[in-house]
Amino acid sequence: MSLQRIWAAVPIALAALAEPAHAQGEGDDELSRIPSEAPPAPPAAPSGRSRLGKTVYVESATEAELLRSSFDVPPPSPTPTTIEQRLFVDAVLHWIPIRDLTFHLSARAGLRAGEDIAFPTHENIRVDFRELYASWKVFEGAYLDAGRINLKSGVAIGFNPTDFFKTRAVVEPLSVDPSVLREDRLGTLMLRGQFVWKHGSVSAAFAPRVASPPPLYTSAALPALDPMFGRTNAHHRFLLKANVDLIEDFSPEALFYQEDGAVRLGFNIAQSLGKKVVAYAEWAGGSQSGLSQEALAFGTLTKSFSTAVADNLATSSATHFQQDASVGLSYANESKMTFWLEYHLHQAGFSRGDWRFWFDQGTGPSGELLSPLLWFERGYAQEQQAPMSKHSLFLRADWADAFIFNLELTAFANVDLYDGSTLAQVTASYAVTNLWTVALLSAANVGSRRSEFGSLPGAFSALFTIRYYF
């Protein structure tokens, strides 16, 4: 051992001597925080061949809405209810009766009452069968699913151009938060095959047409027990999608979608940029007409109004290649906050000129006649789960354990880039215990009378929910 090494070791040894005095105080403080009792043993995991997994909760939701008193383009009656009370049971069950076979059920059933809902009628009862399907593992990595399935695609947060099965599927959402809209939607009757392997996956799904498309639904005219296949299976639809690890950590997804012969292509990708940022992009394109023309064609098809009436607003019904895109970034910090910024392109949506036309027609000499059609276009766009305008911006922030443990704050804003009008929503959700959760949500449509969100009937709304898990 050289003298130099011994000398070099002296400070380490002295530091080690000094350390106990320093570490003792700090260490004592740390040690005093350690719980003395071991946590209780975890619940015994289900075992055996037959297994049942369930998530069941009951929720009370009370909503109050403040409506605008004057409009440039008055919405047709009935206007949205201002106070509504809902009480429902939500259940998601997975049953594995034998190895490699699983049955899935997802449903919501409950009661509702509101100012514009007659009592007692069938309108007070709502049952939605979101999913009911069987899943069979043919061999490792290969699966066949059949039944009503909620097939979701896409990597964006606010708008998913490649989520082709989203249209018309959302039923009575408690919130316009895109993440909630995805929860309150019906699955589509389909047969799906999927193969997942080491370097990627490929899925093919076929959804047959089993019903005619029904007219637009309103909150006050929802069927009580109808599975509403007209919403989800009004067309023959086929989806093929695949993702492959092209290089390490680069696995874009490509999609081919066909609906009654019309083809749409899509792709999406999400990548980490450093430790705190994720960048993502989602694109879909195909031949289609503009939003207004699509809505009017749908209205005449479903006999919501006559062709003659629709002709008052009809412009060109020609189809051409239209693109949808969602491009965004997320950023997370060390304080458990995550922020998203997303740009949305919906080429079939309203341009600045379309909006001017919409308001001019609604306030013109034929405004009273055309108003129902104009609002029909808005309702149609809402059911399509696509932005109304060509260009919009989506911002979102989540803060977990905000101020106190188990309190989550969420805020988002949807901004029309033409007129600056905004849909803004703030939610505070608190998990009181492992079984009880309460949440308070408030939303506002802000903007001038001649703007996308400023022209909507609802100005401000508040929602209070209490949820109990069984």
Partner 1 sequence: MSRTNAFRALTLLVVAALSPRAWGQTAAEIVARADDVRNPNAAFRFLSTLTEYVSGKPQAQNVLAIFSKKDPRTGQFRNLVRYVEPPRDAGKAVLLDGRAFWFYDPASKASVRISPQQRLIGQAAVGDILTVTMSIDYTATLLSTESVQDANKKPRTSWHLDLKAANELSSYARIEYWVEQGSFQPVKAKFYSDSGRLLKILFYRSFETWLGGLRPTETVILDAVDSSRVTTVKASEHRLQEIPEAWFQREYLPRLEAQ
By beta-carbon proximity to partner 1, the closer residue of 96 and 341 is 96
Q: Tokens standing for 327?
A: 């491009």
Helix-helix angle 291-301:367-384, to 10 degrees = 100
By beta-carbon proximity to partner 1, the closer residue of 247 and 318 is 247
CB 284 within 8 A of CB 264: yes
- For residue 34, the minimal CB distance to partner 1 (Å) is 5
End-to-end CA distance of the chain: 68
By beta-carbon proximity to partner 1, the closer residue of 88 and 355 is 88
By beta-carbon proximity to partner 1, the closer residue of 289 and 330 is 330
Query: Is 23 strand, coil or helix?
Result: helix
- For residue 131, the minimal CB distance to partner 1 (Å) is 9
By beta-carbon proximity to partner 1, the closer residue of 220 and 242 is 242
Cβ burial, residue 37 (10 Å; 0-12/13-18/19+):
exposed
By beta-carbon proximity to partner 1, the closer residue of 39 and 365 is 39
CB 376 within 8 A of CB 295: yes
- For residue 78, the minimal CB distance to partner 1 (Å) is 30
- For residue 213, the minimal CB distance to partner 1 (Å) is 23
CA atoms of 245 and 162, how far apart (whole Å): 19
CB 188 within 8 A of CB 165: yes
By beta-carbon proximity to partner 1, the closer residue of 92 and 127 is 92
CB 358 within 8 A of CB 377: yes
- For residue 470, the minimal CB distance to partner 1 (Å) is 7
- For residue 298, the minimal CB distance to partner 1 (Å) is 26
- For residue 13, the minimal CB distance to partner 1 (Å) is 4
Cβ burial, residue 4 (10 Å; 0-12/13-18/19+):
exposed
CA atoms of 151 and 143, how far apart (whole Å): 14
- For residue 360, the minimal CB distance to partner 1 (Å) is 39
CA atoms of 325 and 394, how far apart (whole Å): 12
- For residue 46, the minimal CB distance to partner 1 (Å) is 7
By beta-carbon proximity to partner 1, the closer residue of 72 and 183 is 183
Q: Tokens standing for 418?
A: 């033409």
By beta-carbon proximity to partner 1, the closer residue of 201 and 351 is 201
CB 153 within 8 A of CB 209: no
Helix-helix angle 367-384:352-363, to 10 degrees = 140
Question: Which residue has 């109808």 as its token pair?
Answer: 226
DSSP calls for 279-343: EEEEEEEEEE--HHHHHHHHHHHTTSS-HHHHTTT------EEEEEEEEEEEEE-TTSEEEEEEE
- For residue 75, the minimal CB distance to partner 1 (Å) is 30
Torsion of CA 153, 159, 161, 162, to 10 degrees: 0
Return the amino acid letter for 162.
T
CA atoms of 368 and 42, how far apart (whole Å): 65
CA atoms of 168 and 186, how far apart (whole Å): 9
By beta-carbon proximity to partner 1, the closer residue of 180 and 211 is 180
CB 192 within 8 A of CB 294: no
By beta-carbon proximity to partner 1, the closer residue of 249 and 260 is 249
- For residue 19, the minimal CB distance to partner 1 (Å) is 5
By beta-carbon proximity to partner 1, the closer residue of 80 and 110 is 110
- For residue 216, the minimal CB distance to partner 1 (Å) is 24
Q: What are phi and psi of 408, to 5 degrees?
A: -115, 125
